[in-house]
Amino acid sequence: MTTGDPARFPVVALVASAGGLDALTGVLAPLPADLPAAVLVAQHLDPFRTSHLTSILAERTALRVADAADGDELEPGVALVVPPARHLLLTPESRVALVDVGALPPARPSADLLLATLAVTCGPRALAVVLTGKGTDAQAGIRAVARCGGTVFAQDEVTSAHFGMPGAAIDTGLVGSVLPLPDIAGAILGHVRAAHRAFSPLGGGYPE
């Protein structure tokens, strides 16, 4: 394994829709530059408009933030943002695969597609975090995450600008923690630090 092999660290997927910029800022801003996890960010975006989401988030967190590019490796301390008009999948080699969106929804980028491939690629190293948003995107994806041994957090109703996505996630009964927005970063940090120790070869808990 190389140093960048994602088998040695957890992977966090943050998914959001309406109201997502403030929620993503609230989650990413407190996270340290040395976060022992890779981060994937998917917010529903207009496929026909230029997005400034990556540059805005890069100014608000110590993590390195970049647009996801086809073939990217996951790296701890790096947040990759799904660009407009693309869906992000993870390949069996745990690399980014971008595919063009179709003319019609599903939601773009699709949280369900991201989370389903995250689930089968990363198994118990996956942490899905469902933030504010309209609709039910992510509901199927978190079923996959839970089925493959991963963990799911959701934003609570009080702090969500729109409770469609978190509410749909919670309705599955598979969300491990329902949290107000100010508590999510701390919960992520605690989870990934524990998971990193468990899944590191030196920790002795890496699942074969």
Catalytic status, residue 44:
yes
In a domain, 111, yes or no: yes
Structural tokens at position 37: 């996890």
Q: Does 156 reside within a domain?
A: yes
Asked about 52 being catalytic, the answer comes back as no
Q: Which of 94, 110, 112, 137 is catalytic?
A: 137
**All residues at 6 or more sequence positions from 165 whose CB lies less than 8 Å from its CB, including other chains:** 15, 16, 17, 111, 130, 131, 132, 133, 134, 135, 136, 137, 138, 139
Domain residue limits at 22: 10-203
The model carries a pTM of: 0.92
Whether 67 is catalytic is no
85 within a domain of the structure (yes/no): yes
Number of domains the chain contains? 1
133-190 residue pLDDT tens = 999 999 999 999 999 999 999 999 999 999 999 999 999 999 999 999 999 999 999 9
For 58, list phi and psi in degrees, rounded to 5: -65, -30
Identify whether 98 is part of a domain: yes
- Does 3 map to a domain? no
Q: What CATH number does the domain containing 59 carry?
A: 3.40.50.180
Residue 73 lies in a domain: yes
Per-residue pLDDT reduced to its tens digit, 3-38: 445 457 999 999 999 999 999 999 999 999 999 999
pLDDT for 54 beyond 60: yes
69 occurs within a structural domain? yes
Q: Is the residue at 208 inside a domain?
A: no
Q: Is residue 40 a contact partner of residue 11, using CB atoms and an 8 Å limit?
A: yes
